[in-house]
Amino acid sequence: DAGVTQSPTHLIKTRGQQVTLRCSPKSGHDTVSWYQQALGQGPQFIFQYYEEEERQRGNFPDRFSGHQFPNYSSELNVNALLLGDSALYLCASSLVGGAGSNYGYTFGSGTRLTVV
Amino acid sequence: QQQVKQSPQSLIVQKGGISIINCAYENTAFDYFPWYQQFPGKGPALLIAIRPDVSEKKEGRFTISFNKSAKQFSLHIMDSQPGDSATYFCAAATSGTYKYIFGTGTRLKVLA
């Protein structure tokens, strides 16, 4: 049973560029959340997608956008990259029910983004 | 009010010892408290979780203690092993919402 798959694993971009990160959820899961984890910090919620709609958003600027496809996979797009966007970007999938439900989130291994 | 404060930042324990990590929260609407374990280069993995209607939950060597009145919860790792060396995150969530609020993490090292 494949878990959450993220690609690419590592990425180096220049300030001002745009980046797209991809996520395939665990088989059977229909909800995808994205988190940003800065070095030495806990993950911070970016947004969650369910039924191809953004269901909730954290405190991130509009430069961060996303998409969910009919097969439940998802993309995270970041425009006008800043040095401060350098982080590990984690995708987490779950069944519908929300963070406080009995359905735990399954995290992928993340995409390490370095902005230079 | 949305923060979850975690301590200590790092912890060194001898093999066979007890590792204790503490978290505190302010938002009384939180009603789900998971702990995640993260190895280098990997995403966080759910270890154990608790709801505020119980004061303790045990799964194998891992125990969560929950103090609702103090708004604190802790993870105890009994008989700590070198393979437990990882970063541990506490988190909190509210039913009906869709995000976890994570603590800042505790880097645990268990000496052989």
Question: Rounded to a whole number, what is the distance in angstroms from the first to the last CA of chain B?
Answer: 39
Residue pLDDT, tens place only, B21-71: 999 999 999 989 999 999 998 999 999 999 989 999 999 999 999 999 999
The pLDDT of residue B98 = 78
For residue B103, the chain A residues in CB contact (below 8 A) are: 42
Phi, psi for residue B84 in degrees, rounded to 5: -80, -10
Question: If 0-12 CB within 10 Å is exposed, 13-18 middle and 19+ buried, where does residue A42 land?
Answer: buried
Of A76, A72, A5, A71, nearest to A36 by C-alpha is A76
The pLDDT of residue A23 = 98
Range B4-26 average pLDDT: 97
A2 touches chain B (CB under 8 A): no
Per-residue pLDDT tens, chain A, 116 aa: give them.
579 999 999 999 999 999 999 999 999 899 999 999 999 899 999 999 999 999 999 999 999 999 999 999 999 999 999 999 999 999 999 886 555 555 678 999 999 999 99
Dihedral angle over CA of A50, A52, A54, A60, nearest 10:
110
Range B64-81 average pLDDT: 97
DSSP string, B75-88: EEESS--GGG-EEE
Touching B: A residues 20-59, CB under 8 Å: 31, 33, 40-45, 48, 55-56, 58
Instruction: Provide the CA A92 distance to its chain's centre, in angstroms.
Output: 7
H or E element: which one contains A88?
strand A87-94
The pLDDT of residue A102 = 58
User: In chain B, pLDDT over 90 holds for what percent of residues?
Assistant: 84
